[in-house]
């Protein structure tokens, strides 16, 4: 049995809240799905710092993969309709390979330095306002 790697571009993992009050899980390219009738109005992670990280990830992903070619295109995007899910997907999947979280070899955002010499820390050390986060 082959296990497909979890991919930050294609998987539906982003918790969002829609205008109707419904909660959903979407892939990043689906952020504009139902824009006219029931748009995403907020990220809905269980912690506000997670929402901040997700927002920064989405901004960086779009900024990197869907950058306007010139000032006119930038203005059209700023004052026009948001890109369609299909347009976002076409832009994002070009970089899909870089966002696999598991698999053989180095993965997205992994450090090459060996960890053997470092003292292990609890996972809570990664979170703001928890014991061990100093």
pLDDT category at 110 given cuts 50, 70, 90 is confident
What are the respective helix, strand and coil percentages of the chain, to the nearest 5?
Answer: 35, 10, 50
User: pTM of this prediction?
Assistant: 0.81
**pLDDT, tens digit, 9 for 90 and up, residues 43-65:** 999 999 999 999 999 999 999 99
DSSP-based three-state secondary structure for 40: strand
**pLDDT, tens digit, 9 for 90 and up, residues 77-105:** 888 889 999 999 999 999 998 888 877 77
Helix (H) or strand (E) holding 123: none
CA-based angle 50:43:86, to the nearest 5?
120
**pLDDT, tens digit, 9 for 90 and up, residues 64-74:** 999 899 999 88
**Average confidence score pLDDT of the chain:** 88
CA-based angle 56:61:103, to the nearest 5?
105
**In this structure, is the dihedral angle defined by the CA atoms of residues 123, 124, 128 and 133, taken in order, positive or negative?**
negative
The residue with greater pLDDT, 100 or 35, is 35
DSSP-based three-state secondary structure for 18: strand
Residue 5 has pLDDT above 50, yes or no: yes
Residue 124 has pLDDT above 90, yes or no: no
Angstrom distance (rounded) from CA 45 to CA 121: 24
Name the burial class of residue 44, with classes exposed (0-12), middle (13-18) and buried (19+) by CB atoms within 10 angstroms of its CB.
middle
């Amino acid at each position: 049995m082959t296990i497909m790697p979890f991919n930050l571009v294609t998987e539906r993992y982003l918790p969002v809240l829609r205008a109707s009050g419904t909660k959903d899980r979407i892939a990043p390219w689906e952020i504009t799905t139902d824009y006219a009738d029931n748009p995403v109005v907020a990220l809905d992670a269980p912690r506000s710092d997670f929402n901040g990280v997700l927002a920064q990830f989405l901004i960086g992903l779009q900024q990197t993969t869907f950058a306007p070619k010139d000032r006119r295109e930038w203005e059209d995007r700023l004052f026009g309709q948001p890109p369609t899910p299909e347009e976002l997907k076409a832009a994002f999947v070009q970089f899909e390979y870089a966002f696999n979280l598991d698999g053989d070899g180095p993965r997205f955002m992994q450090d090459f330095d060996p960890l053997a010499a470092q003292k292990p820390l609890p996972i809570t050390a990664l979170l703001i306002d928890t014991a061990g986060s100093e």
